[in-house]
Every structure is written in structure tokens, then in C-alpha cells.
Amino acid sequence: MSDADHAQRSTGKSASGKLAGGKNRIDFQTAPERYRHWKLSIDGDVATLAMDVDEKAGLFEGYDLKLNSYDLGVDIELADAIERLRFEYPQVHALVLCSAKPRVFSAGANIRMLAGASHAHKVNFCKFTNETRNGIEDLSANSGLKSICAINGTAAGGGYELALATDYIMLVDDGSASVSLPELPLLAVLPGTGGLTRVSDKRKVRRDLADVFCTTEEGVKGKRAVEWRLVDAVAPGSKFEDTIAACAKDFAAQSPRTAKGPGIKLAPLTRTFASDSIEYGTLSVEFARAERIATITLRGPIAPPPASAEAMMAQGAEFWLLKLARELDDAILHIRINELDVAAIVFKSAGEAAQVLAYDAFLDANRDHWLTREIRHLWKRVLKRVDLTSRSLVTLIEPGSCFAGTLAELTFASDRSYMLLGQREGDNKPPATIALSEANFGPYPMSHGLTRLGSRFLADPADLEQAKSERHKMLDAERAQKLGFRLVGGTPEQLGAHLKSEIDKWAKVAKAAGLAPK
């Protein structure tokens, strides 16, 4: 790690050159009216998302985003647009991904941006772009919104990888438009956003052809691209737009997504950034910088769940479980990319566990409503993001906490969960409990397809069944220990000392191995 990286890390700022426009952090919040790189348009049941990267609007100084190449800022807008299709436009049943620039679809991740980026930024950039592409596939697999990629020219590297995340790739047959993964022959690196995997495992390209493809700088075009299964179809330029439109209509007609709209508005998050904290509506983040700890305290609902799906629709983005998911997602992304010195994230919660269970029961009772389905899928994606955040994750279960049902998933996602024994001095709250609901046994699978509890209890299905039989009960530390949900109990002082010694230990190990700033 260079000295410059060290300096950047120690400020807690993003470690990839100087942010453009005098910004001091990367913001994951945006909205279509502020997009610089994409145009989202809706025509009946078909949405079109056109890539039109503003080359002067890079996230960092020092590079131009030529030829629809992208940086994290471009992908943040893409991810935002995909979320809005889910929540704001349930009537959309097919998506066309295309380029607004002539004869170029996308040149992929911007090479100059990558060359100037720190390792930490590149890792987080790749992670987020992968999550966005997984999100496009999730949109198809679980929300019935199939996507078509219209490649009107060069689709190289990350440009083709973006296409690979869609269900159907159409390539213009004009003698020059091509798809390629030139990372290996040009840069001697592997495609970082799922290219090889999707070529072989998703599109099932013959492995000998896949090998030739990803070692050939110029890529493959025309009919050969179809024969090799790299794209699904080609069409001449004169018929390209009509063919895409017909295909989109077809996909929309076949979609199992039946919602008619209107959706709900994803209003901007209300956040207050202070030097050592961020305040959201349903959670707060506190930074103990000397200890390298960020503590996220989630707040339970302040009111019972709405009386009906219609009432939930009326609450819209204010509906507690939706608001919390969006805010938690934003907080995690912020810590990942802007707070590189945070070594451990500690989850706490405060509220009525019974109310959390009531919200889970509400979602369950309305499980066929499009909005509850989308909220569940959002939680699934946010929890996967937590799983893959690459910081030490610790949950503290204390008197007054509400790690129940959906929120209890955070304790299972954590590397360590600690449960306080007994009560705090001068605090008359009853001892800490956790509780399970249906939400812990299905709707939030991890990346490998198993639930967190299914993964934990892989050795013996009976353990999983026993946990299931204890749904909706408040489980104290002893019972939780028996069921396999906590490792360490202790007084607040013991837990605090333990946590500090753990972080000191790992800081030393990382330093000795040259993995941390000196």
C-alpha cells in the first residue's frame, strides 16, 4: 500500500484519488432527475434504460468516461434505476438495456479510473457492480421482470458483463459490433464482474470456445457470436430497434408479474451527517474512530403494522420495514466505501421485539402483494450485502434490544453475537431476549441459496426443526445458547473488554502480516 493510500485511509475518506466537484464522500443516494449517465423511460409495461455516460461527470478527478465506460458513480445510478423499477413501476414487466451513443454499447469499467484507484476502492467497486448485476438477475428470477440487452456496437469487458446479467442479448449485425472480454489479453487480469462465470455457467458457452473468446482481444461478432452462444440473436441495423421492441413486448406479455401499478415513491432518505455519527430515520451510526468501530443501532417500529396492504401502500417508503432496509443498505454502503478504517461493525437494536414480530406477521399475511414481495427481496439483498461487507460483524443483544425475526438475521449474519446476561445496574428493562419468525426460515437466503439458520445447522436438520418450533417465543440467553444462537454471555463490562481485546488482537495480526496501515 502506498503512502498516499495510507494518508487517504487515515482520513476515513474514499481511497481513490480526489473526488470530483469538491465532494468529500461518495453518496449512494440519487434519483432519476439527477442522473448524469442513464435515461430511464417507461412506455406501458416496458421500461428502457439507456446508457449515455457523461464523460465529464466521473466520480473522481483525472479521467474522462469515454465510450460509455463507467465508474462507481455510473453504477450507483444503474442500481438506483433498478430499485425504482421494483417499487415505483410495478406495472413494468420487461426492461430494455441499451446505449444512447451511436455504435458503442459500453467499453466497460474505465481503465484510467482503475489504474488510479486504490486496492480498497477497486474491491468495493467490483463488489458493488457485482451486486448490481446480481440484482438485475434477481429482478428477472424473483420479480418476473425479464431484461433484454440491445448491443448496438462495441460491448467490451464490463460492457459485455453487464449484458450477461440480462436474460436476452441482441447484437446488431453491422460487420463491426462485437462482444469481447479483452481483460486477459490486454491487461492480464480476469474479468472482475462475473464475465467468465456467466459465459460458462449461465450461457453455457462451450469451454474451448469460451477459452478462445476470453483470450481474444477483438472479441466475436455477427453470427459467430450466436453460434458460440455469446449472444442470443443478431439483427441488421435497419431492423434492430423494431426487433428489440417486439421482443420486449413479448417478454412483457409472458411476465408472471401481474401488478398494474401505481407503485410507491422512493422518497430521498433523510440523513444527517455529523463528524462521528449519521442519523437516519430508523437507525443511527456512531463511529468510535480510535477503536475503529462503527455501531449501527436499529430502532424498532414506533407503531403497530398497518391494518391492510392498502394502508401499507399509503405509508409507502415510510413503512417501517422498507424504510429500515433502505437506510441500513445506505449505511452499509457508506461504511464500505467511505469509512475504510472501520474494522468492526457492531449491530445494536432498541425497541419492542413483539412489534418486530408483528411486522413480520403482517408481511407473511400479505405475502402475495407485490409490495410485500419486493420488501422481502430488498431485505434479502441488503442482508447479502451485510454478509459480504468484509468487516468484522458483531451483534450485541442487550436488555431493550429487538433482534426478532427479520432483525434477528443480523445476529446470524454476524461473525459473533454476544448476549448480555442479567440486567444493567439501574436499568429495570427485562433481560435480553431474541425471537424467531417465519422470516428466519426462507425469505432471506444467502448467496449460496441456504438460509442463515439452514447454513448454521447444516449438520443436523433436527436442530433447524427445533429452532423452527420455537418461533414467536422470547428466548433468553440460556435458551438461545441451547438452540445454538449465541456464544458468549456476560456483563456489559465483560463484553466491552472482550470486544476491545479482539480488535486489538486482529489489528496486531494484520499489522504483522503487512495487511494494515502502519
CB-based contacts of 362: which residues, under 8 Å, 6+ apart?
A: 305, 306, 312
Number of residues that bind a copy of itself (CB under 8 A): 33
Which of 457, 340, 329 has its CA nearest to residue 384? 329
264-303 as b/e: b if 16+ CB within 10 A: bebeebebeeeeeebebbbbbbbbeeebbbbbbbbbbbee
**Which of 204, 223, 482, 500 touches a copy of itself (CB under 8 A)?**
204
Please answer whether residues 31 and 72 qualify as being in contact, where contact means their C-beta atoms are separated by less than 8 angstroms: no
**Which of 5, 211, 341, 476 touches a copy of itself (CB under 8 A)?**
211
Please answer whether residues 97 and 49 qualify as being in contact, where contact means their C-beta atoms are separated by less than 8 angstroms: yes
In whole angstroms, the minimum distance from the beta carbon of 493 to a copy of itself comes to: 21
Considering the complex, state which of residue 229 and residue 271 has its C-beta at the smaller distance from a copy of itself.
Answer: 229
The x, y and z cell numbers of residue 510, run together, are: 494484520
Please answer whether residues 404 and 429 qualify as being in contact, where contact means their C-beta atoms are separated by less than 8 angstroms: no
**Which of 34, 119, 207, 482 touches a copy of itself (CB under 8 A)?**
207
Report the site for a copy of itself in 495-514 (rule: CB under 8 A): 505, 509-510, 512-513
- Using the contact rule CB under 8 A, the part of the chain among 68-76, 208-216, 271-279, 296-304 near a copy of itself is 208-216
Which residues are bridge partners to 40 per DSSP? 49
| 304 cis-preceded (ω within 30 degrees of 0) | no
Query: How many whole angstroms separate alpha carbon 170 and alpha carbon 148?
Result: 7
Query: How many whole angstroms separate alpha carbon 262 and alpha carbon 43?
Result: 14
**Which of 43, 318, 415, 465 touches a copy of itself (CB under 8 A)?**
415
Asked if 110 is part of the footprint of a copy of itself (rule: CB under 8 A), the reply reads no
In whole angstroms, the minimum distance from the beta carbon of 456 to a copy of itself comes to: 5
In whole angstroms, the minimum distance from the beta carbon of 445 to a copy of itself comes to: 15
Compute the C-alpha angle 246/250/256, nearest 5°.
155
Considering the complex, state which of residue 205 and residue 436 has its C-beta at the smaller distance from a copy of itself.
Answer: 205
Residues in the chain: 518
**Which of 63, 370, 444, 457 touches a copy of itself (CB under 8 A)?**
457
In whole angstroms, the minimum distance from the beta carbon of 213 to a copy of itself comes to: 11
In whole angstroms, the minimum distance from the beta carbon of 352 to a copy of itself comes to: 26
In whole angstroms, the minimum distance from the beta carbon of 432 to a copy of itself comes to: 17
- Using the contact rule CB under 8 A, the part of the chain among 32-40, 136-144, 178-186, 475-483 near a copy of itself is 178-186
The x, y and z cell numbers of residue 425, run together, are: 445496574
In whole angstroms, the minimum distance from the beta carbon of 444 to a copy of itself comes to: 15
In whole angstroms, the minimum distance from the beta carbon of 234 to a copy of itself comes to: 18
| Alpha-carbon dihedral 355, 296, 136, 189, rounded to 10 degrees | -160
Considering the complex, state which of residue 53 and residue 205 has its C-beta at the smaller distance from a copy of itself.
Answer: 205
Considering the complex, state which of residue 74 and residue 475 has its C-beta at the smaller distance from a copy of itself.
Answer: 475
Query: How many whole angstroms separate alpha carbon 266 and alpha carbon 370?
Result: 15
In whole angstroms, the minimum distance from the beta carbon of 304 to a copy of itself comes to: 33
* Residue 316 one-letter amino acid: G
Compute the C-alpha angle 358/359/362, nearest 5°.
90
Concatenated DSSP letters of 425-477: TT--PPPP-BB--GGGGSS---TTSS-HHHHHTTT-HHHHHHHHHTTTSPB-H
Asked if 189 is part of the footprint of a copy of itself (rule: CB under 8 A), the reply reads yes
Please answer whether residues 37 and 54 qualify as being in contact, where contact means their C-beta atoms are separated by less than 8 angstroms: yes
In whole angstroms, the minimum distance from the beta carbon of 457 to a copy of itself comes to: 7
Report the site for a copy of itself in 458-497 (rule: CB under 8 A): 458-459, 484, 487
Asked if 23 is part of the footprint of a copy of itself (rule: CB under 8 A), the reply reads no
- Using the contact rule CB under 8 A, the part of the chain among 72-80, 150-158, 244-252, 413-421 near a copy of itself is 413-421
CB-based contacts of 215: which residues, under 8 Å, 6+ apart?
A: 184, 185
Asked if 212 is part of the footprint of a copy of itself (rule: CB under 8 A), the reply reads yes
**Which of 20, 123, 184, 350 touches a copy of itself (CB under 8 A)?**
184
In whole angstroms, the minimum distance from the beta carbon of 515 to a copy of itself comes to: 6
- Three-state SS for 132-150 is HHHHHHHHHHHHCCEEEEE
Considering the complex, state which of residue 7 and residue 187 has its C-beta at the smaller distance from a copy of itself.
Answer: 187
Asked if 223 is part of the footprint of a copy of itself (rule: CB under 8 A), the reply reads no
In whole angstroms, the minimum distance from the beta carbon of 351 to a copy of itself comes to: 24
- Using the contact rule CB under 8 A, the part of the chain among 51-59, 87-95, 409-417, 420-428 near a copy of itself is 409-417
Q: Residues 25-44 vs a copy of itself: string with x where CB under 8 A?
A: --------------------
- Is residue 472 packed enough to be buried (19+ CB in 10 Å), middle (13-18) or exposed (0-12)? middle
Residues near a copy of itself (CB under 8 A) are 184-189, 200, 203-209, 211-212, 229, 415-417, 455-459, 484, 487, 505, 509-510, 512-513, 515
